Amino acid sequence: MTFQEQIKQGIPSVLPEPKPYPSDANRAPKRKDILSADEKQLAIRNALRYFPKEWHQELAAEFAAELKQFGRIYMYRFKPNYELKARSISDYPAKCEQAAAIMLMIDNNLDPAVAQHPEELITYGGNGAVFQNWAQYLLTMKYLSEMEEDQTLHMYSGHPMGLFPSSVEAPRVVVTNGMMIPNYSKPDDWEKFNALGVTQYGQMTAGSFMYIGPQGIVHGTTITVMNAFRKVLEKGESPKGKIFLTAGLGGMSGAQPKAGNIANCITVCAEVNPKAAIKRHQQGWVDELIDNMPELVERVRTAQQNEEVVSIAFIGNVVDVWESFLAEDIFIHLGSDQTSLHNPWSGGYYPVDISYEESNRLIREEPEVFKEKVQATLKRHADAVNKHTAKGTYFFDYGNAFLLEASRAGGDVMAENGIDFKYPSYVQDILGPMCFDYGFGPFRWVCTSGKPEDLDKTDAIAADVLNKIMADSPEEIQQQMQDNITWIKDAKQNKLVVGSQARILYADAQGRAEIAKAFNDAINRGEIGPVVLGRDHHDVSGTDSPFRETSNIYDGSRFTADMAIHNVIGDGFRGATWVSIHNGGGVGWGEVINGGFGMLLDGSEAAERRLKSMLLFDVNNGIARRSWARNEEANFAIKREMARTPKLKVTLSNNVDDEVLSNLDF
């Protein structure tokens, strides 16, 4: 069967032969054995409903074995035989070009060069899933191949509920992931309901088909690291020879060494999984691999002396690095951590002094022992960080729940008031006030032709638009504009593409809309093929997360999720091709609600109308909320936008002088 015929088939008519698990695959962590005997039967009953009854006897035993071995039913047998990668949009069988674009994005998220655990349909973060199982993938692609322009596919945590009549203006796909009744949103709830096959953890861009490989986070990390050095170095002082110490080389975290190189520093990034470190080295995202501490210490000293720009992956535990650098009196300028601590008990973070293999055994066979060892390591980790910060290290939480889990483990990370953390979130200290409040966030696009020359042309278009906007930009946003102009000019030489021909930069509403219009005009002229627009959920408006995206909201509303919900609904009726809303993300299930979108530009007048309406709201929804929270930068930005857009009218905050409140009697 051809590629197109396989997609149109969906669930095959003949039961495929079982597939051996690839010996060289990067396996997902084995999940907890959390279901009762009755619940295991229910999980298998749930899985079998995708298949005809005559297959049930054979598949029941197979799925029971998967559940026992992996803690999940992935249905390996049904993984398609064709290569999973982003093809040209014209290669997909579709009645609707928007549907073909979504198929392309789904395949890109499952490309082994992009995905962390592709066999288990996990894109990044250890549990960020595109689908729960391969049957869902097959059905979804079949539905998309049949979709017409007045239908919408509704997806419940990876499960394609079906095609429903809608309208040309409606989104083609609506995605929800992990949307639980609030009291059933704890980590063990996710383990249980995911094992039953009724929900999944979509992370952020994984479950919304908008992940573009580590490039997406490279840019945000670059902006963060550059501005962090600006906070700690003298004006004009170079980061060359200065150390940025962190951990994690899996999915999103794999961007850190590349970002460190772009920021011109020494990056030391620890990773306990050798396969993950080797993969990033092979992809060119990290310069050197070292697996023993004496060699690491010597190499770092040499790099300091020579003021090198170099990234080093240390295959081992980051706690050992913090402690050894303390003993060796190696000064760390910037410190952070980007391990998947939103998922601490299932492989997101590994204990020190235990092998990677033994840790994986404990996860499955002795989960309580594993949890105890993780929490002991977190306390030790926090203690080492505290000793370095006492010597002048600038440490920031990278939004991965490090401080949250360290505090729960009893680590010394709380401020004197016992409420706040003693270290800031990178959003709280850097991206929030410097970028998000002004409306700058991770705008991204994918050239659906798959042609590198199309990406080159879009890079040039974006750079030209930004240069023109910068000429008339106020002083408050000149640094952001220049950083992104520099980024887009250097993007190709930094070899950022993995998987699809994609790009990202930080832009505000004006920048996003003008770049998008310029793309649409170029498509209309036949200069480039169709383009998919999107963004990370980690943005101005898309996410309500009290310890990350909205950590610089101080009016008490950072624990509410109104903004993210309004964002996805508002984008949906303003022209998005697909929208998504998720419980969970980089900081953990039950800790965040985040929304995303995708939009296909096809060169039409309708696409221009949609992009202008949707992109304006997508950004300014968040600026308005941040302004209402009394954030000065957001107040400046929303007033500027209202002057630029007469039909935008936003409620502004009347701020209260401190003396009005100081003598009140409570």
- Across the range 422-445, mean pLDDT stands at 92
Query: How does strand 243-247 pair with strand 173-177?
Result: unpaired
User: Among the CATH numbers 3.30.2290.10, 3.40.50.10730, 3.90.550.10, 2.30.110.10, which is that of 214-413?
Assistant: 3.40.50.10730
Domain ranges of the chain: 3-196, 214-413, 432-658
CB atoms within 10 A of CB 171: 24
pLDDT at 408: 94
**Which residues have CB under 8 Å from 295's CB, separation 6+?**
none
Q: For residue 410, is it left (φ>0), alpha (ψ between -120 and 50) or beta?
A: left
* Cα angle 514, 567, 450; round to 5: 50
User: Residue 491: what are its φ and ψ, rounded to 5°?
Assistant: -60, -45
126 belongs to an annotated ligand binding site: yes
> pLDDT tens digits, residue range 322-371?
999 999 999 999 999 999 887 899 888 999 999 999 999 999 899 999 99
How many whole angstroms separate alpha carbon 512 and alpha carbon 123?
Answer: 26
pLDDT at 251: 64
> pLDDT tens digits, residue range 145-192?
999 999 999 999 999 999 999 999 999 999 999 999 999 998 899 999
- Across the range 85-111, mean pLDDT stands at 97
Each residue of 150-166: b (16+ CB within 10 Å) or e? ebbbbbbbbbbeebeeb
Q: Which residues pair with 117 in a beta bridge?
A: 122
Element (H, E) at 662: helix 658-662
pLDDT at 651: 97
349 belongs to an annotated ligand binding site: no
Q: Is pLDDT above 80 for 488?
A: yes
Q: Is pLDDT above 90 for 572?
A: yes
Contact 151, 175 (CB under 8 A): no
Torsion of CA 361, 364, 369, 373, to 10 degrees: 60
586 belongs to an annotated ligand binding site: yes
Give the pLDDT band (50/70/90) at residue 201: very high
Tokens matching residue 384: 């080492």
How many whole angstroms separate alpha carbon 307 and alpha carbon 600?
Answer: 45
pLDDT at 414: 95
**Which residues have CB under 8 Å from 460's CB, separation 6+?**
none
**Which residues have CB under 8 Å from 166's CB, separation 6+?**
150, 151, 152
Provide, rounded to the nearest whole percent, the portion of the chain with pLDDT above 70: 100
Q: Is pLDDT above 90 for 405?
A: yes
Of 22-26, 240-244, 356-360, which gets the smallest average pLDDT? 22-26
Question: In the chain, helix, strand, coil percent, each to 5?
Answer: 45, 15, 40
pLDDT at 252: 65
- Across the range 552-579, mean pLDDT stands at 96
pLDDT at 399: 76
203 belongs to an annotated ligand binding site: yes
**Which residues have CB under 8 Å from 336's CB, separation 6+?**
244, 245, 246, 395, 396, 397, 398, 426
- Across the range 505-524, mean pLDDT stands at 97
Query: How does strand 578-583 pair with strand 173-177?
Result: parallel
Give the pLDDT band (50/70/90) at residue 652: very high
Contact 319, 377 (CB under 8 A): yes
The CATH homologous superfamily for domain 432-658 is: Urocanase superfamily (3.40.1770.10)
User: Same topology for domains 3-196 and 432-658, yes or no?
Assistant: yes
How many whole angstroms separate alpha carbon 42 and alpha carbon 35?
Answer: 10
Contact 586, 255 (CB under 8 A): no
How many whole angstroms separate alpha carbon 576 and alpha carbon 609?
Answer: 11
Q: How far is CA 369 from CA 68, 320, 364, in A?
A: 20, 21, 10
Of 46-55, 215-224, 273-282, 563-572, which gets the smallest average pLDDT? 215-224
- Across the range 257-282, mean pLDDT stands at 93
398 belongs to an annotated ligand binding site: yes
How many whole angstroms separate alpha carbon 508 and alpha carbon 418?
Answer: 36
Each residue of 74-93: b (16+ CB within 10 Å) or e? bbbbbbbeeebbbbebebbb
Average pLDDT score, the chain: 94
Q: Is pLDDT above 80 for 591?
A: yes
- Across the range 639-666, mean pLDDT stands at 94
Give the pLDDT band (50/70/90) at residue 302: very high
pLDDT at 475: 93
- Across the range 440-449, mean pLDDT stands at 96
> pLDDT tens digits, residue range 276-294?
899 889 988 899 999 999 9
Contact 582, 517 (CB under 8 A): no
585 belongs to an annotated ligand binding site: no
How many whole angstroms separate alpha carbon 246 and alpha carbon 636?
Answer: 34
The CATH homologous superfamily for domain 3-196 is: Urocanase superfamily (3.40.1770.10)
- Across the range 29-51, mean pLDDT stands at 95
- Across the range 116-130, mean pLDDT stands at 92
pLDDT at 467: 95
